[in-house]
Amino acid sequence: MKKPRDIGKEGATFWAGGAFAEKVSHEDLEEKMKTFHKKHDEDMNFNCKNCDKPISVHNKDWHAGMCDKCFNKEFFPNNQKQKVQR
């Protein structure tokens, strides 16, 4: 049996961004759960809407169509700052 360790960690980060989660309707959510289990580097058929970097279908659905870097900047600016200051 596969342990959903990656998914748990990713999910925790994702749901911590409550504002973004609220934008996802229930029907969308069911559809998106299909890609939730995909890896970040799986199906790199999309581009970040900010920097045009190739992103996975997972990022398209779960990171607001942005690469990890832009997504974190957008939704977790405080985390970024803390890292820089340290």
Q: Which is nearer to Zn ion, 35 or 50 (CB)?
A: 50
Distances in whole angstroms, Cα of residue 17 to Cα of each of 20, 40, 72: 6, 18, 10
Map residue 48 onto helix, strand or coil.
Answer: coil
Among 6-14, 18-26, 35-43, 61-69, the segment contacting Zn ion (CB under 5 A): 61-69
Q: Applying CB under 5 A, does 72 fall inside the site for Zn ion?
A: no
Q: Which of 48, 58, 59, 75 binds Zn ion (CB under 5 A)?
A: 48
DSSP 11-24: HHHHHH-HHHHHTS
Binding site for Zn ion (CB under 5 A): 48, 50-51, 53, 67, 70
